[in-house]
Amino acid sequence: MERLLDIFFSGVALIFLFPLLVTIIIILKCTGEGEVFFIQKRIGRNGKFFKLFKFATMLKESPKIGTGTITIRGDPRILPVGKFLRKTKINELPQLFNVFLGDMSIIGPRPLTLQTFSSYSIVTQNIIKKVRPGLSGVGSIIFRDEEEILHGANASFDFYDKVIAPYKGALEEWFVFNKGLYIYFVIIFMTIWVIFFPKTRVVWKVFRYLPEPPDKLKLVLNYKKFEK
């Protein structure tokens, strides 16, 4: 059932958003380095690699420069137009093609590179690989401002590996164990909600059974505990 919904929603979205996609393609072709799409290998269902599509927002050699596949706040590799595309999440729209083709789902764990996926424990990796990665998901909603989190004292591989990755892994595990049509539609609604209200705490009320974040992340994730 979820796969049918994925095909329907992604197909309708691609048709509806076609004028916007064409406009962005023209803008990118005329600015920055002239690159339109950023294509990168990500880990999908059953651990198989697939090519993920995004609008290009960074320098072509970004994965080989600085923090690699981890992007931090004020990252100098981000192109001027790219800042807007990333802030509005428009750069993610080409992933609708991945959803339509079956590489991804509308809702699922965040699709990761081998480098960032390796930050999860083997147990977490095996759990996440049971499902298709998603255009959005619990992890994507909670860490919607991950670039803002990764700055200053937090802008290090050590902080990502020891603090962020374990909690993100716990969130993705929660999704896999609780996935279903109800969660599917609730996450779609909450994804739209946080776009318009990025500082909202409602997500913690809606998903009050999520694993509690570590103390080092509670403030930056705007965490509030609600009674279960």
- pLDDT value, residue 68: 55
**pLDDT (0 to 100) of residue 48:** 94
pLDDT at 124: 95
In order of 10, 40, 98, 187, 215, the CA distances from 54 in angstroms are 15, 9, 10, 21, 33
Helix (H/G/I), strand (E/B), else coil: 185: helix
Q: Are 101 and 3 in contact (CB under 8 A)?
A: no
pLDDT of residue 205: 92
Helix, strand, coil percentages in the chain from 3-state DSSP, rounded to 5:
55, 10, 35
Residue 77 is predicted with a pLDDT of 75
Phi, psi angles (nearest 5°) of residue 166:
-60, -40
- Pair 158, 203: CB distance under 8 Å: no
SS3 51: strand
The per-residue pLDDT for 1 is 86
pLDDT of residue 75: 64
What token pair was written down for 190? Answer: 């909450």
- Reduce the secondary structure of 81-109 to three states and give it as a string: HHHHHHHHCHHHCCHHHHHHHCCCEEECC
Q: Identify the pLDDT of residue 9.
A: 95
Which run of H or of E encompasses 42?
strand 37-43
Sign of CA dihedral 180, 105, 201, 225: positive
**Res 115: pLDDT:** 85
36 class by beta-carbon count within 10 Å (0-12 exposed, 13-18 middle, 19+ buried): middle
Domain ranges of the chain: 2-218
Contact 141, 82 (CB under 8 A): no
Please tell me the predicted confidence (pLDDT) of residue 95: 95
Q: One digit per residue, pLDDT tens: the chain, 228 residues?
A: 899 999 999 999 999 999 999 999 998 888 766 788 888 899 999 999 999 999 888 776 665 555 555 555 556 677 777 788 887 888 899 999 999 999 999 999 999 998 889 989 999 999 999 999 999 999 999 988 776 776 654 556 778 888 889 999 999 999 999 999 999 999 999 999 988 888 889 999 999 899 999 998 888 888 888 776
CB 177 within 8 A of CB 109: no
Which residue type is seen at 178? Answer: N
